[in-house]
Amino acid sequence: MTKGKLYQVSIDEIEYQPRFIMVYASEDATDEDLQRLATNFILSQNPELPESALVDSVIVEPGDPNEKPDVVAEGLHVPTPAWGVKMGLLYAQAVHHATYDDDEFDEVAYVRGETKAKRFETEAAAKAFAQWLNPNCEVIQLEEGNDHD
């Protein structure tokens, strides 16, 4: 699977909206590839604008990974950020309700590897869980991988 990267692309010396186009493309995409993706997006958003109005001066910068892309290159999908709760060297893996003869409580299993950590779709959900678990826990963004739940 091709690994992607987020780029911020702007085509210089022209007014159009949005000013910066967030493009998610392969890590080895050329400036020309990025310019074509951004140009197609600009023209789709500004139908009154002729393609000849777009100059060849393109500015490509690394994109902020927290931004949502405007354009995704064909064959790629944008990874969904996953958040985990880290406590020291251990990550929370699962929570299950434990019942003992004289007590009931929620039990947390821990693992050393980030790929098996309990994942949350949003940072807020991870922070709420961390607050419940232990306010000293650290909420971190996890690596994307295929070996997690």
Distances (CA, A) of 37 to 9, 56, 61, 71, 128: 9, 13, 15, 7, 39
- For residue 149, name the pLDDT band (cuts at 50, 70, 90): very low
How much is the pTM?
Answer: 0.52
Q: What is the DSSP letter of 146?
A: S
Is the pLDDT at 111 greater than 60? The verdict is yes
Distance CA 67, CA 65 (A): 5
- For residue 15, name the pLDDT band (cuts at 50, 70, 90): low
Distance CA 45, CA 97 (A): 51
Q: Which residues contact 3 (CB under 8 A, 6 or more apart)?
A: 26, 27
